[in-house]
Amino acid sequence: MTLNKITRLVATCAVVALLGNAAAAQEVTLKLGHLANEENIWHKAAMKFAEEAKALTQGRVEVQIYPNESLGKEIDVINGMQLGTADMTITGESLQNWAPSAALLALPYAYKSLEHMDEVASGEIGAQIEAEIVEKADIRPLTYFARGPRNLSATREIKTPDALNGFKLRVPNVPIFVAAWQALGANPTPMAFSEVFTSLQNGTIEGQENPLALFKSGGFYEVQKVVNKTEHVRSWIYLTISERSWDKLSEADQAALMEAAQRTQAYERALFLADETALVADLEGRGVTFVEVDQAAFAAKARDAVLGAVAEEIRPLAEQIFNN
């Protein structure tokens, strides 16, 4: 064999090897759509995940972020993930439309503290919830983020359930929330978020319940100067990927995304804790008073109503959470 033939043969082998490596390291683009704006910590966490995913896969996986519902509303993105037009989202109890146990993510009065919620979310019950979501929704949770607890705002202190006495408050259109507040003696009224400020202003309702971030962004501090720290709903939300998108990844890249998700969770938790502290300081600066309440009394009075509103098939899990 001549030198030229040997050279051509070596070159051909090198090209084949390069093509083989390229095929093994196929690049993937994942579309991640969510409902938050660019200032929200969920968006910042999504950007962190994209950065970590790219680094850990040596650029093979690119995650493109679509905030502000620009890829569609939450349910639309979930449907898109199942159909193959979207790949990832940040979602939580909305998944109960497919996996009933996802309702446990936002179970009123069930989680006594952030630490208690973490125990459930990262423990055996959390694993059961995630498995059902994978099986029934074809969506895989990669990690979870904490959400700010919901508190009751008013123009007066409400330290015990007895102080409610027909108190008119806005709640989201979530049956279990309505049942809980009715059991506490209040008069809950489902209402669109966009109508809350005006309804507080004109006295149609006496109060509302939301996390501090929404209390601030809604401007409710202008008409409600008391936040009663009921912390009645602690919840978490998942960073998810569709199963069809997950299955397209190599085992190495799947492992890399799981590592990216764990790093993102730690990053988001630090942002979350700092944000909650900053919100309190900001609202106090606007004249808002934070009132400690008898949370145990609220929880005890609402418990039976909450369990009664939970789907029968997941009631044993709900009871486990309450008894933990």
Report the C-alpha gap between 254 and 163 in whole angstroms. Answer: 52
Q: What is the DSSP string of 93-162?
A: GGGGGT-GGGGGGG-TTT--SHHHHHHHHTSHHHHHHHHHHHHHHSEEEEEEEEEEEEEEEESS---SGG
Instruction: Measure the CA–CA gap between 47 and 41, rounded to whole angstroms.
Output: 10
Q: Where are the beta strands (DSSP E) in 85-200?
A: 88-91, 139-154, 168-171, 187-190
Tokens matching residue 213? 């971030």
Report whether 259 contacts 192 (CB < 8 A). no
Contact 128, 101 (CB under 8 A): yes
Query: Which helix (DSSP H) or strand (DSSP E) does residue 33 occupy?
Result: strand 28-33
pLDDT at 67: 93
> What's residue 174's pLDDT?
87
The residue written with tokens 């145990």 in the block is: 296
Judge whether 138 and 149 are in contact, CB under 8 Å.
Answer: no
pLDDT recorded at residue 4 = 46
CA–CA distance, 80 with 85 (Å, rounded to integer): 5
Query: Within the chain, which residues score under 50 in pLDDT?
Result: 1-24
| CA nearest neighbour of 57 among 253, 261, 254 | 253
Quick count: other Cβ atoms within 10 Å of Cβ 1?
7
Q: What is the pTM of this model?
A: 0.84
CA 264 to chain centroid: 13
Confidence at residue 2, expressed as pLDDT on a 0 to 100 scale = 47
Residue 37, pLDDT score: 85
Instruction: Note the pLDDT tens digit of each residue in 138-183.
Output: 999 999 999 999 999 999 999 999 999 999 999 998 889 999 999 9
d(CA 324, CA 319): 8
Give 181's contacts (C-beta < 8 A, 6+ positions apart). Answer: 169, 171, 187, 188, 302
CA distances from 308 to 89, 169, 233 (A): 31, 21, 17
The Cα-based distances of 129 to 113, 175, 177, 300 in angstroms read 20, 20, 20, 25
Select from 204, 224, 199 the least CA-distant residue to 287. Answer: 224
DSSP structural state of residue 254 = H
Instruction: Report the pLDDT value the prediction gives residue 25, as an integer from 0 to 100.
Output: 53
Which residue in 260, 324, 259 sits closest to 125, CA to CA?
A: 324
DSSP H/E element including 95 = none
- 296, 112 in Cβ contact below 8 A? no
User: Which residue carries 């506490």 as its tokens?
Assistant: 184
